[in-house]
Amino acid sequence: MLDKCGICGGRIVFDNGEYVCEGCGQIFEESFYQASPISVHNFSKKFTFKYSKIVSIIKGVCDRLGFNSKIFNEAVYVAESIIESGIRSNGLKIAFFSLYSVCRNFNPILCDRVLKEFRSMGLNVNERNCIRILSRFWKYYSYKGANLGSYLNLMLESLRSNIFVREYVRNFYHLNENILWSKVKLYCLKFLEGYRFSGESLRVKCAISIYVSCDKVFKSFGLENPITLGLLSKHFCLDFNNLRKVLERMVLSHEGLAKM
């Protein structure tokens, strides 16, 4: 097998189950006679080197901060969608956005650690200009449907376990809880697929979809909607005013309630 990369001449090593070039990060498949590069996701050649460098940055930060593989994989997915868009930007900024945006949805507490780590790597970022840097990339990526559904399930299960919500629903003996919440989930997914949120965390997106969907479903059963913005704000530790503004902007301005 060849021991040198045909792209940059770097040394090919076996790393984490794959043959990878130490120089440019190109991935190779094993062959007795030669090493032929595997196409990385269908990217054009001019993006391959940039992609490998960004993935390397993300992996390095995740390793140093002790982040799990789920955060790493999500961040790589975000980076991929940005690179595929063709936007020209510093790879360090794309890596920062990818990790920061994922951490916002998994655990916002981790964001400060990400910011400090990238600042130590030379990226001119702080609490004041962070959003300005991030805002450039919001429209170039979206979450995988499976991840969105999984995250929504977690939030709905958490909400169902809320003492006030649980007791409210159980007061109506004729009501089938599973059917009710299945309908809520169905409308949530329909809402999230139909409307674009710019610059909002996944938690906020799901919270708004839950509010809109519960309003529709509970009223279809002839009940008052117990899921208020105030309840969602307290239960999921979200800013009430921000929820209200997002609701007005993304639902009322597009007549979302009428269209669902």
**Ordered per-residue pLDDT tens for the chain, 260 residues:** 446 665 566 677 665 555 666 665 555 554 422 334 333 444 444 456 677 888 889 999 999 999 888 788 888 878 877 777 677 778 888 899 889 888 877 777 888 899 999 989 888 887 777 767 676 676 566 555 446 777 788 788 889 888 999 999 988 877 788 888 988 998 998 888 776 655 566 778 889 999 999 999 999 988 999 999 999 999 888 889 988 888 887 765 444 444 44
16: left (phi over 0), alpha (psi -120 to 50) or beta: left
Tell me: the pLDDT tens digits for 76-91?
878 877 777 677 778 8
CATH code matching the domain that covers 145-259, chosen among 1.10.3470, 1.10.30, 1.20.120, 1.10.472? 1.10.472
Fold of 45-140: Cyclin A; domain 1 (1.10.472)
CA angle, corner 148, sides to 133 and 221, nearest 5?
125
